[in-house]
Amino acid sequence: MFLLVVWTSRLDKRVAKIYTRFMKCTLCPRNCNIDRNATSGFCGVGDVTVSRIACHAWEEPCISGTKGSGTIFFAGCNLRCRFCQNYDITVSPHGVQITVEQLADAMLYLQDKGMANINLVTASHFVPQLAEALKKAKPLLHIPVVYNTSSYEKVEALKLLDGLVDVYLPDLKFCSSQLSAQLANAPDYFQVATDAIKEMRRQQPQDQFDKEGYITKGVIVRHLVLPTQVEDSKRILDWICTLGKDTYVSLMSQYFPARQDSKVPYLNRRLFKHEYNNVTAYFENVGLHNGFTQQLESATRDYLPEFSDSDVSFVLQNMNKVFS
């Protein structure tokens, strides 16, 4: 407890207020109300834990391009969908615990490797520490910072990232509360996620791209089309229209059964071509026009990153230590 008090004394008032909630954690919508200095809540982790620091070549073209996206995957997740393809680090979290200073150094390391951007994947349960790391690294970064999220976020927490994140890459997974309850134990998902995305758009109201086609500021809303859930996908697109018909949308067809599910049988097959085509046609019919689509061949394990604690440790040992 004493160490937490010493740490928060160096933070601005907003971040310090959030940090104190780690003693009774209400950082995310789960409101676990537990001391994350001593144990873990729904997200499965206490202090900042990283599962991968490396190039990722398979994001949207304006994110990965030919340079690759400099991803930092965080262990744990406050949503933990039944169908998660990164379940190795979300449902059964593992990785290497790092300090705020090491996190800032990792961003500079990826920049030095020539990455197009810094891509922070599933960091919602570490927002206060992330904000502090970004404050350290941002003056030395000349590439965009991307925040890659399930969108199960509190607006209050997202406001800590205002001015620190250049590009938001939020999922909008479910519209139906019954579906989100079944697949993520989060019946309030749609309301929480849409409020979060509106806050992201408030922070980044204009989409900007550089001369090479990489996004430098803005929001891209992702939606993974699931087997049998075409109508829910259409309702998602209806809502995105209210955000603005020029909103960039990534319609993903990459779903595959990462593991067998005995309780939800329809998750045990890949997406049918006609299901995906139905959703992409609806995208055009409702007047959305800035979209990314995928080939059904992307539904394979081949594009999943590898998560190795030893690889993370190697990077941490060999990166330049500007702050740590």
Q: How far apart are the first and last CA of the chain?
A: 22
Kind and range of the H or E run holding 90? helix 87-90
| pLDDT confidence of residue 40 | 84
- Let me know if 59 is exposed, middle or buried by CB neighbors in 10 A (0-12, 13-18, 19+): buried
> Which segment of 24-38, 158-172, 237-251 scores lowest on mean pLDDT?
24-38
The residue length of the chain stands at 324
Model pLDDT, residue 304: 74
Which CATH superfamily does the domain covering 2-318 fall into?
A: Aldolase class I (3.20.20.70)
pLDDT top residue among 37 and 61: 61
Listed in order, strand segments (DSSP E) in the chain are 49-56, 69-74, 96-97, 118-121, 145-149, 167-170, 208-209, 215-224, 248-252, 290-292
Check: CB of residue 221 under 8 Å from CB of residue 241: no
Distant-in-sequence contacts of 61-66, Cβ < 8 A, 24+ apart: 61/213, 61/292, 62/209, 62/213, 62/214, 62/215, 62/220, 63/116, 63/117, 63/119, 63/146, 63/167, 63/169, 63/214, 63/215, 63/220, 64/116, 65/116, 65/212, 65/213, 65/214
- Whether the CB-CB separation of 104 and 131 falls below 8 Å is answered with no
Say if residues 37 and 86 touch (Cβ distance below 8 Å).
Answer: no
pLDDT classification of 258: cutoffs 50, 70, 90: confident
pLDDT value, residue 78: 94
Structure letter (DSSP) for residue 171: B
Indicate whether 11 pLDDT > 80.
no
Comparing 52-61, 213-222, 295-304, 306-315, the range with the smallest average pLDDT is 295-304
pLDDT band at 92 (very low <50, low <70, confident <90, very high): confident
For the stretch 99-147, pLDDT in tens is 999 999 999 999 999 999 999 999 999 999 999 999 999 999 999 999 9
Reported confidence tier of residue 39, pLDDT bands at 50, 70, 90: confident
Q: Is residue 16 pLDDT above 70, yes or no?
A: no
Q: Given this model, what pLDDT does residue 17 score?
A: 61
Q: Distance (Å, rounded) from C-alpha 273 to C-alpha 258? A: 19
> Could you tell me if residue 219 is left (phi over 0), alpha (psi between -120 and 50 degrees) or otherwise beta?
beta
pLDDT-derived band at 321 (thresholds 50, 70, 90) equals: very high
Task: Name the least confident of 129-138, 151-160, 260-269.
Answer: 260-269
At residue 305, φ and ψ (nearest 5 deg) are -70, 160
How does pLDDT run across 183-208, given as a tens digit for each residue?
999 999 999 999 999 999 999 999 99
Is the pLDDT at 298 greater than 70? The verdict is no
For the chain, the structural domain boundaries read 2-318
What does the alpha-carbon distance between residue 101 and residue 104 come to, in Å, rounded to a whole number? 5
Q: Is 94 helix (H, G, I), strand (E, B) or coil?
A: coil
Tens of pLDDT, residues 268-285: 999 999 999 999 999 999
Q: Rounded CA gap, 65 and 218, in Å?
A: 17
Find all residues with CB under 8 Å of 170, minimum gap 6, and list them.
Answer: 149, 150, 151, 193, 196, 197, 200, 219, 221, 222
